[in-house]
Amino acid sequence: IKRIGVLTGGGDAPGLNAVIRAVVKVTIREYGLSVIGFLNGFGGLIKNQARELTEKDVVGILPRGGTILGTTNRDNPFHYPVVKGGKKVFVDVSDRIFENISIHGVDALIVIGGDGSLAIAKELHAKGLSVVGVPKTIDNDLLATDQTFGFDTALTTATEALDKLHTTAESHHRVMVLEVMGRYAGWIALAAGVAGGADVILIPEIPYRIEKVIEMINQREVQGKKFSIIVVAEGAKPVDGELVVQKRVEDSFDPIRLGGIGHVVAQQVEEATGKETRVTILGHLQRGGSPTAFDRILATRYGTGAVRLVMEGRFGHMVCLRGTTIDAVPLTEATGQIRSVPLDSDLLLSARQLGICLGD
C-alpha cells in the first residue's frame, strides 16, 4: 500500500473533519504513505475531483464542523442519473470509480458515511475495491456500532435548546414543542428529552396517542405546573397516522419535508388544552458547529482505526464501537437496517420511571 483515498458521503455530521485529520496524520506520520481526498462524496470519485491531503491541510480542522472534502447525499455510482433521449435514466457508472482510483494510484479507499454511503462501499468491495468504512450519522441509528460520531454533538445542541425553551416556557406558562432530527429512530429525542428534563418524548419506535400527551399537560396544570416541554422526533407518528417526514426514493436520498410533526402535535395540544403552544424545529442546527469533546475523540479513534484496518488488509470492514472498544465489523453486517431504540432499553425505562410521557 502506497496511497490511501478518503471521502465523506451523505449528510454532514460534526466530527467528519476530525476523522479526516486522523486518517491523514496517521497515514503520513506512522506509515509514511500519502493520502488523496475525493471531493463531494461519491460524486467526486465518479467525476475525478480529487486532491492530495498533506498534514498542512488538516491543521486546525479538529474543532471544525462540516467536512473540508465536501459531501452530498446524491451520486450513487450504481444508480447514477444521466439524461438519455431527453429522459432521465439511471445507470451503473461504478467502473469510473475503479478508473479514477487507479489514475491516482490509490490502493485503498476509506469511506466515511451513513447507511447509504456504506451500502455503496459494500457493493464496491463486492466488485473488488479495497474499501474500509467509518460510521457517521447524527441520528445514531446505524447497525453494528454502539455509537456513531456526530450524535453526541447533536444531542448537546438539542439539550441546550431545551434548557433555553424551559425558561421562556416557564415565564409565559406555555407548552413548548421541540422537533428534533431522527427520521427512523428516536435516539436524539429520547436522550435530549431525558437530559433536558422534557415532560413528553415522542419517538418513531413508539407510535403515540395524542390523548396521552394531552392528559399529561392537563395533569401538570392540576399540579400547578403551568408549562410543559414536549420533544418530538421528526419521524414520530400517531398510532393510526402517517409519517410526516417521507423519503424520496426516486432520484435521491433526500427526505421531503411535507410539514412537520411538531406542528401537528402543537396544534392538537393547543386545541385540546387551551394552552398557548409554540413550536421550534431545530433542523440543521443539529448538524452544524463544532463537535463535542466526545465526538472529537470518537471520530479520531475511528479515523486511526480505519487506517489500521487498511494496513491489516481487512477490507470490506467498518470500524465500530462495541462498549468502550473500537472494533471492526463486515460491511455486509453493517448496512441495510436501522438500529432503533430498543423498547426494553435502560434509558427508555428510566424515562418511564421518571414519569415522562412517551405517548403510549
Annotated catalytic sites, by residue? Answer: 139
Pick from 75, 123, 139, 199 the residue near ligand F6P by CB under 6 A. 139
Closest CB to ligand F6P among residues 34, 252:
252
Residue 359 found at the interface with ligand F6P (CB under 6 A):
no
Q: Which of residues 309-328 bind ligand F6P (CB under 6 A)?
A: none
Taking CB under 6 A as the binding criterion, the range among 27-35, 53-61, 180-188, 266-274 that sits at the site for ligand F6P is 180-188
How far is 306 from 23, CA to CA, in rounded Å? 8
Nearest to ligand F6P of 174, 287 (CB atom): 287
The annotation status of 316 as a binding-site residue, yes or no, is no
141 within 8 A of 339, measured Cβ to Cβ: yes
The CA–CA distances, whole Å, from 72 to 98, 118, 158, 206 equal 20, 14, 24, 31
Question: Residue 344 annotated as binding?
Answer: no
Set of cell numbers at residue 41: 462524496
252 among annotated binding-site residues: no
> Is 116 annotated to bind ligand?
yes
Contact 231, 162 (CB under 8 A): yes
Query: Residue 311, exposed/middle/buried by CB under 10 A (0-12, 13-18, 19+)?
Result: middle
3-state secondary structure of 258: coil
Minimum distance between the CB of residue 252 and ligand F6P, rounded to whole angstroms?
8
Stretch that binds ligand F6P, among 16-24, 40-48, 93-101, 181-189 (CB under 6 A): 181-189
Contacts of 207 (CB under 8 A, 6+ apart): 237, 238, 239, 241, 359, 360
Q: Which amino acid belongs to residue 86? A: G
DSSP per residue over 202-247, as a string? E-TTS-B-HHHHHHHHHHHHHTT---EEEEEETT--BTT---SEEE
Shortest CB 317 distance to ligand F6P, Å: 22
Number of residues located near ligand F6P, criterion CB under 6 A: 13
Q: What are phi and psi of 34, to 5 degrees?
A: -115, 165
Which residue number, 114 or 359, has a Cβ lying nearer to ligand F6P? 114
**Contact letters for ligand F6P, residues 268-297 (x by CB under 6 A):** -------------------x----------
Identify the CA nearest to 68 among candidates 78, 76, 57. 57
**Among 99, 211, 254, 312, which residue interacts with ligand F6P (rule: CB under 6 A)?**
254
Which range binds ligand F6P by CB under 6 A, 1-9, 89-97, 176-184, 323-331? 176-184
Q: Tell me if 73 contacts ligand F6P by CB under 6 A.
A: yes
346 annotated to bind ligand: no
What is residue 48's DSSP assignment? T
Output 66 or 255, the one with its CB closest to ligand F6P.
255
Residues that bind ligand F6P (CB under 6 A): 11, 73, 114, 137-139, 181-183, 234, 254-255, 287
Binding residues for ATP: 11, 74-75, 114-117
